Amino acid sequence: MASLKLQRARELRQQATPAEQRLWELLRNRRMLGLKFRRQYLVAGLIVDFSCAELRLVLEVDGEIHTTPEQLDYDAARTRHLEARGLHVLRIANAEVSAASVRRLLGEPSLGSPSPRRGEGVRG
């Protein structure tokens, strides 16, 4: 089963929506706040759009389909599943994908700050 999901994740990376492509350009290679993101990644048994292990964060990009009652219920169940495993789930609409909106989302106080990298900690 896991190998089927990994194969599906690869397919999703190759078939990214324009909004996912824009967001990946902002996040890849630690471009956003120095954080490492993975795209179309298997987390807690689900394929998520973007994941940052350092922040225990899942970032989902939502298009028009995510406004239907059925999809809203499905998305809510996925969010509960991920949050029950200690992950933060943030959703961003396709039209809102921009550097400023992503920085604003990542700056939410509930996420806390990322751990200092080697040599960047406070010395006492």
Q: Which helix (H) or strand (E) holds 101?
A: helix 99-106
Rounded distance between C-alpha atoms, residue 2 and residue 65, angstroms: 26
Please check the confidence at residue 109 and state whether its pLDDT lies above 60: no
Cα separation, 16 vs 61, whole angstroms: 11
pLDDT band at residue 108 using 50, 70 and 90 as cut-offs: low
Question: Taking Cα atoms as reference points, which of 33, 40, 38, 54 lies closest to residue 100?
Answer: 33
Say whether pLDDT at 121 is over 50.
no
Per DSSP, 29 falls in state G
Averaged over 57-81, what is the pLDDT? 89
Domains of the chain (ranges, CATH numbers)? 2-110 (3.40.960.10)
For residue 72, give the 3-state DSSP assignment. Answer: helix
Is residue 41 over pLDDT 90?
yes
Secondary structure (3-state) at 36: coil
Q: What secondary structure, in 3-state letters, does 35-89 show? A: CCCEEEEEECCEEEEEEECCCCEEEEEECHHHHCHHHHHHHHHHHHHHHCCCCEE
pLDDT at 110: 55
Q: Return the higher-pLDDT residue of 15 and 120.
A: 15
